[in-house]
């Protein structure tokens, strides 16, 4: 392994576990030791993007376990491609995202308009970093069945972190910063957030479906559908029933993502089936155990045979045309001779008449 890669890997090995611990510590402190806590503010600032806390707790539990697995993979991995994926595909962006999320927890419990705006900025930065990381991984370091641990501990946590940030955290923080939320004392749902919420839900769902279909992204699809269930089953005594428009947008987004995943899997299966048919047709022309030089020689011989057959067909056609032309010439000559003999006969008759 070259020296620059080794230096970058050492830096990632140090900062990533530290960032996970700091993020986890911040979330635990803000959830247990500070009042109002994360959950209490969650219950007193109700938006159309307020999820079921039990769903979110399970989601983050899985996500932190996978991040711990990523931190272990950084240390124990021996594959060169895995090390490059960690260093150049992820780098310190995941660590920075964890640190920003820990800072976001503080802005949440401060619980005022300015802190909500600051939290929205932090979540937006997290979204940009994770989206950039996901794109780099998809283009330069795609997952492979030959590297299942790379997929499980690198690709999956990045996607899970990104999906919850884009689909739940940023919209929820946006409406809290705008003041478009309900409280337990509210007598009715704030109507100002209705159609913006519908647009964000449907828009994010549609864009996610496009990505899922293009990349056959199983992680994104499962994470997104799970979080939509968290929104759909967010029921608290203080939360008014969701408007039908919001329920329709949630269900529409779930269906779009599920159909996109199934369609992408079917498209890939059809493509592999067609390729298998093509390979099967070529098997009859390719001998088993033939090396590349022998295969090239066989292809050249086949091409030469086809060229010889084409030349033979051209010669046969040319000879046929020449034969037709010769027959036409013989017919013309016979006609000319016949006309000449007739003319000579007429002349002889005329001479005989004069002599008589």
Q: Cα–Cα distance between 154 and 219 in angstroms, integer?
A: 12
- Rounded distance, CA 180 to CA 340, Å? 115
CA-derived radius of gyration, the chain: 39
- Stretch among 122-126, 207-211, 238-242, 339-343 having the lowest mean pLDDT: 339-343
The rounded mean pLDDT for the chain is 85
Tens of pLDDT, residue by residue over 284-293, are 555 555 566 6
**pLDDT at residue 356 tops 50:** no
At 190 the pLDDT is 63
DSSP 271-288: HHHHHHHHHHHHHTTS-T
Mean pLDDT for 106-118 is 95
CA distance 61 to 155: 17
Question: What is the arithmetic mean of pLDDT over 120-138?
Answer: 97
Q: What is the pLDDT of residue 118?
A: 97
């Amino acid at each position: 392994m070259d020296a620059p890669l080794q230096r970058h890997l050492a830096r990632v090995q140090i900062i990533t576990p530290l960032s996970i611990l700091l993020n986890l510590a911040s979330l635990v402190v803000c959830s247990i030791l500070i009042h109002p806590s994360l959950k209490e503010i969650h219950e007193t600032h109700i938006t159309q993007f307020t999820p079921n806390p039990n769903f979110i707790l399970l989601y983050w539990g899985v996500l932190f376990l996978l991040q711990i697995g990523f931190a272990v993979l950084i240390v124990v991995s021996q594959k060169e491609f895995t090390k490059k994926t960690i260093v150049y595909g992820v780098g310190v962006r995941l660590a920075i995202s964890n640190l920003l999320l820990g800072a976001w927890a503080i802005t949440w419990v401060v619980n005022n308009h300015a802190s909500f705006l600051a939290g929205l900025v932090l979540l937006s930065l997290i979204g940009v970093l994770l989206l950039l990381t996901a794109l780099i991984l998809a283009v330069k370091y795609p997952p492979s069945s030959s590297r299942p641990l790379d997929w499980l501990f690198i690709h999956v946590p990045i996607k899970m972190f990104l999906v919850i940030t884009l689909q739940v955290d940023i919209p929820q923080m946006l409406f809290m910063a705008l003041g478009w939320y309900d409280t337990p004392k509210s007598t009715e749902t704030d109507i100002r957030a209705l159609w913006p919420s519908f647009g964000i839900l449907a828009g994010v769902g549609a864009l996610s479906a496009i990505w899922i279909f293009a990349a056959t992204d199983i992680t994104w699809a499962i994470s997104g559908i799970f979080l939509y269930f968290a929104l759909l089953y967010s029921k608290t005594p203080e939360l008014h029933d969701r408007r039908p428009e919001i329920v329709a947008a949630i269900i529409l987004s779930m269906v779009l993502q599920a159909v996109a995943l199934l369609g992408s899997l079917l498209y890939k299966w059809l493509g592999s089936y067609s390729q298998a048919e093509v390979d099967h047709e070529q098997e009859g022309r390719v001998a088993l155990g033939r090396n590349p030089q022998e295969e090239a020689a066989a292809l050249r011989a086949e091409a030469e045979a086809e060229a010889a057959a084409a030349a033979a067909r051209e010669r046969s056609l040319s000879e046929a045309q020449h034969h037709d032309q010769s027959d036409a010439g013989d017919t013309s000559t016979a006609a000319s001779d016949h006309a000449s003999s007739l003319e000579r006969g007429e002349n002889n008759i005329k001479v005989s008449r004069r002599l008589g």
